Each structure stands twice: as C-alpha cells, then as structure tokens.
C-alpha cells in the first residue's frame, strides 16, 4: 500500500486571529473547507486538536501542494484565490 503524503500548512485569520501562524496538518478536505489537526498549541487550543477551517483560513505549504498527481489549485474555488 502506498503511503499518503502529509500536507502541512499555516492557519491565518481563524477564531479572530487567535491561531495566526500556528502550523497544522491537513486531515481531510470537506465541502466547506478543511479539517486540520494542530501541530502546536496556543492558549486554550492544544496540540492535536482538530478544527474545521475555511479555505481562506488554512494555507497549505507550496512544497507540499502536489498530491496524487494533481495540484491543490485544481481544488480551490476560483473566488477563494482572488486577493
């Protein structure tokens, strides 16, 4: 069995900025965004907690953006990529 590549990124803007800069691992993609597991802790949020975040609140590292032959950009709605 082939092992899946671990996707890691940074949280920005979630919970009023309480988790800005915290690293997290992508657990799954959902219709509303992502489910991630915290790799660090801050305040009431402990390492290992799982959170639901929108596409705008979680940024996957570029070096990890290719997964199973397709790129992350193919899965982000076009309105979420506009600045």
pLDDT number for residue 6: 85
- Span 53-77, mean pLDDT? 66
Residue with more model confidence, 10 or 2: 10
pLDDT number for residue 70: 43
* DSSP one-letter code for 45: B
8 Å CB contact between 48 and 36: no
Entry pTM: 0.69
Beta bridge partners, 38, equal 24
pLDDT number for residue 12: 93
Domain boundaries of the chain, sorted by first residue: 8-66
Residue 63 binned pLDDT confidence (cut-offs 50, 70, 90): confident
pLDDT number for residue 64: 52
């Amino acid at each position: 069995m082939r092992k899946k590549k671990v996707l890691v990124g940074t949280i920005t803007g979630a919970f009023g900025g309480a988790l800005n800069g915290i690293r997290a691992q992508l657990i799954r993609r959902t219709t509303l965004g992502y489910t991630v597991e915290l790799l660090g802790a801050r305040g009431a949020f402990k390492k290992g907690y799982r959170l639901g975040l929108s596409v705008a609140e979680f940024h996957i590292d570029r070096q990890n953006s290719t997964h199973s032959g397709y790129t992350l950009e193919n899965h982000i709605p076009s309105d979420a990529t506009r600045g």
